[in-house]
């Protein structure tokens, strides 16, 4: 009997020792102990960022202009949410346009009806270009672009942004934060990438965007191309990438080279800063339910299906009299 008690006591002591050792190892793995929760979480945050960067580099390393749209897969928590990466290249060749491309629009949504269901905000991290650009200039360019797309959509799609550190763009699962950051991508031909998550198929009324992240490649020198020749124009590329964030797809044919959403750019190019009428039309139709009245553009260009012609009431009166 006493022997059984001794065995039982030894087991309890062993379990206690194992627990203490495990707790110590866990504490050492997480980081320094103390009351500062941020200090405790920081190693995990850094590890997740490195993991994200590794995934981004592996995913984009071999992508080419011939296949610039990348399918990321489905979100683990909801397989109806799918991810795509839209890649902007430097000096890529356009896809050949047909002899008659008059019917090819230079504007296209990612999917019919796929948009934000309410105003959304961004986390902007300019630290990656802090050595070459003042933070105030990055913010001013970003604000100009937010305002331009909101005006085109005729509603507040982008309600603002905050400045802070990004934990990395999301290519495996969305995390609910729209992040814009400057990082070095190993593919030197990629200017920027927009990663977008949402419901893009099924019933049109159920489609929506749930998250977008943007990575700007620090292999390029960024700036104001009007004032700094040889630089990649920050506002122009912001305008293009945020067009994806709004819900617009890339354009690939040579007849659309002047459009903001054309998939290629180059140093010193600034034309993407200015939205064409087709850029505005696509944004407006997406957020105004295809209303031809709301989306009337400069010069009286009617957008959407024209309303059926109406006959004056007195024609009907004259017809009845003649009968």
For the chain, the structural domain boundaries read 68-96+104-300
In terms of residues, how long is the chain?
323
d(CA 48, CA 165): 13
**260: which DSSP letter?**
T
The residue ranking higher by pLDDT, 106 or 129, is 129
Q: Which residue, 82, 287, 115, is CA-closest to 208?
A: 115
Question: 191: which strand partners?
Answer: none
Q: Which of 2-11, 158-167, 207-216 has the lowest mean pLDDT?
A: 2-11
Q: What is the pLDDT of residue 16?
A: 52
How far are the Cα atoms of 92, 111, 261 from residue 305, in angstroms, in the given order? Answer: 34, 19, 23
Average pLDDT over residues 281-304: 68
Work out the angle at residue 255's Cα, subtended by the Cα atoms of residues 257 and 87, and round it to the nearest 5 degrees.
45
Q: Which of 72-86, 150-164, 282-296 has the highest mean pLDDT?
A: 150-164
Instruction: Taking each helix axis as running N to C, give the angle between helix 277-287 and helix 135-153, from 0 to 180 degrees, rounded to the nearest 10.
Output: 70
d(CA 318, CA 323): 9
Average pLDDT over residues 83-96: 81
Q: Is the pLDDT of residue 100 over 50?
A: no
Which residues, in sequence order, are CB contacts of 80 under 8 Å at separation 6+?
Answer: 74, 199, 202
> What is the CA 317 to chain-centroid distance, rounded?
57
Tokens of 266: 């180059």
Average pLDDT over residues 53-60: 63
67, 92 in Cβ contact below 8 A? Answer: no
d(CA 93, CA 96): 9
Reduced to 3 states (helix: H, G, I; strand: E, B; else coil), residue 308 is: coil
Residue whose structure tokens are 């019919």: 112
Residue whose structure tokens are 């992040």: 179
**78: which DSSP letter?**
E
d(CA 152, CA 283): 6
In terms of CATH, what superfamily is 68-96+104-300? Collagenase (Catalytic Domain) (3.40.390.10)
Q: What is the pLDDT of residue 68?
A: 75
Q: Which of 49-58, 146-155, 192-201 has the lowest mean pLDDT?
A: 49-58
pTM, two decimals, is 0.75
């Amino acid at each position: 009997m006493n022997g059984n008690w001794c065995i039982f006591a030894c087991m309890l002591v062993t379990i206690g020792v194992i627990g203490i050792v495990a707790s110590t190892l866990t504490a050492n793995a997480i980081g320094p102990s103390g009351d500062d929760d941020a200090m405790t979480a920081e190693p995990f945050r850094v590890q997740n960022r490195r993991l994200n960067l590794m995934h981004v580099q592996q995913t984009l390393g071999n992508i080419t202009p011939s296949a610039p749209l990348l399918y990321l897969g489905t979100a683990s928590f909801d397989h109806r949410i799918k991810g795509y990466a839209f890649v902007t290249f430097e000096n890529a060749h356009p896809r050949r346009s047909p002899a008659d491309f008059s019917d090819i629009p230079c504007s296209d949504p990612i999917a019919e009806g796929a948009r934000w269901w309410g105003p959304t905000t961004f986390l902007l991290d300019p630290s990656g270009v802090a050595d070459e650009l003042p933070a105030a200039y990055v913010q001013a360019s970003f604000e100009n672009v937010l305002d331009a797309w909101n005006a085109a959509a005729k509603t507040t799609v982008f309600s603002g942004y905050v400045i802070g550190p990004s934990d990395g763009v999301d290519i495996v699962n969305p995390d609910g934060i729209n992040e814009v950051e400057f990082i070095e991508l190993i593919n030197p031909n990629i200017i920027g990438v927009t990663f977008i998550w949402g419901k893009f198929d099924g019933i049109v009324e159920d489609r929506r965007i749930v998250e977008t992240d943007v990575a700007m490649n620090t292999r390029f020198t960024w700036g104001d191309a009007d004032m700094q020749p040889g630089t990649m124009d920050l506002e122009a590329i912001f305008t293009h990438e945020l067009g994806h964030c709004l819900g617009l797809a890339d354009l690939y044919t040579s007849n659309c080279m002047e459009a903001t959403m054309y998939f290629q750019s180059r140093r010193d190019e600034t034309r993407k800063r200015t939205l064409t009428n087709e850029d505005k039309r696509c944004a407006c139709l997406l957020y105004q339910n295809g209303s031809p009245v709301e989306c009337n553009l400069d010069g009286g260009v009617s957008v959407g299906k024209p309303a059926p012609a109406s006959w004056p009431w007195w024609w009907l009166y004259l017809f009845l009299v003649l009968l």
